[in-house]
Copies of this chain bind each other. A is one copy, B any other.
Amino acid sequence: MSAAKIRYAMVGGGRGAFIGAVHRIAARMDDRFELVAGALSSNPDNARASAADLHIAPERAYTSYDDMLRAEKARADGIQAVVIVTPNHMHFPVAKACLEAGVAVICDKPVTRTLEEALALAQIVNDTGGFFALTHNYSAYPLVRYARELVAAGKLGKLRVVQVEYPQEWLTEAAAADNKQAAWRTDPARSGAAGCLGDIGTHAFQLAQFIAQQNVSAVSADLASFVEGRAVDDNVHALLRFDGGAKGMLWSSQVAPGCENGLRIRLFGDKAGLEWAQESPNELWFGELNKPRQRITRRGDLGSDMVARGMRVPGGHPEGYLEGFANLYKDIADILLARQQGERHFLQDWVPDITTGVEGMRFIQAVLDSSKQDGVWTTL
């Protein structure tokens, strides 16, 4: 693949940040992107030092995204894409500015702080015709995509039950004052009204819809804030109804000792069931009624183009979180290449977009509303 690399900038992700480094590795993995500029921090010193760390030329280390967009526009070798890895409240203004400047946007989830912002952003995407991808990375694991293909091919029969969960332990206790990651995630002003719900509940929700290929139409929820003084939820219990007739449960928690990143999904139809867990991402359990369960592994000979393109090493050599994340970037590179030639790439059906983002915010809103009204079924 000798196509020119895509020149991108990052907003957020300076020293001390977490998810920025993940995006950079994911972008680098398949050598399709080149980090050439950044507004890595609102703090000028951090912005400059962080840029130096990352081999960004000093003159392209900006302290505001507005400055960056303006300056880059003037360059022949200016940025083609921006990766947004700020706290949630900054997603909207940065994405808006980028889209209006004609720059492609790759944005961490959840898409915005509120549903209103998400709807506004959807309008902007539509009006500008710009590119917007939302990095729900779990849906880019090869076997998650294969699960989706199995459902689409009818291997499960008519879908009836979807059980999805995402327990973590890391917020079991009140966070230490100096824990930056915990701090903004438990601050409604930066994170939105949802805590655990927005941080990982949306991942679980997106994964369920992505594989099931049905939309959640209504929820009945019970949120909890178990840690004293916590301003947002830290445990989400929700019943789900899907528009295709399936029913389900979603549990996400950040107060579950013994759990690291226990994202897990099970789907059952009238013919077969499926199970996948993020901590063992290279295996997918497929169980047909009254037959031995099969442990499907990530292999080139599964007969799936999506699995094959999402692999870098043979079956039995584990690929993990970063490779799944990198699959999104590889796909986005192909999509952007196609867009340059005025074409729509089929991979757009596989990469979460602004619609995914709006659905996620509708889910958050519906769960908050339902929980406030003692679990009344609330439509999305």
Q: Say yes or no: A255 contacts B161, CB within 8 Å.
A: yes
Query: Is residue A237 within 8 Å, beta carbon to beta carbon, of the partner chain?
Result: yes
Known contacts A272-B257, A375-B375; is A222 also within 8 Å of B237 by CB?
Answer: no
Query: Is residue A268 within 8 Å, beta carbon to beta carbon, of the partner chain?
Result: yes
Q: A157 — nearest CB in chain B belongs to which residue?
A: B257
Query: Is residue A179 within 8 Å, beta carbon to beta carbon, of the partner chain?
Result: no
Query: Is residue A269 within 8 Å, beta carbon to beta carbon, of the partner chain?
Result: yes
Q: Say yes or no: B268 contacts A255, CB within 8 Å.
A: yes
Q: Say yes or no: B22 contacts A279, CB within 8 Å.
A: no
Give the residues in chain B near A323, CB-CB below 8 Å: 320, 322
A22 to B319 alpha-carbon distance, docked (Å): 12
24 A–B pairs (Cβ distance < 8 Å), ordered by A: A1-B53, A2-B52, A29-B322, A160-B224, A160-B235, A161-B226, A161-B253, A161-B255, A163-B251, A168-B316, A220-B375, A239-B375, A253-B268, A255-B270, A256-B268, A257-B270, A258-B274, A258-B293, A259-B273, A261-B317, A290-B301, A294-B294, A317-B320, A375-B377
Chain A interfacial positions (CB closer than 8 Å to B): 1-2, 5, 21-22, 24-25, 28-31, 52-55, 156, 160-161, 163, 165, 167-169, 172-173, 220, 222, 224, 226, 235, 237, 239, 241, 247-249, 251, 253, 255-262, 266, 268-275, 278-282, 285-290, 292-297, 299, 301, 312-323, 374-377
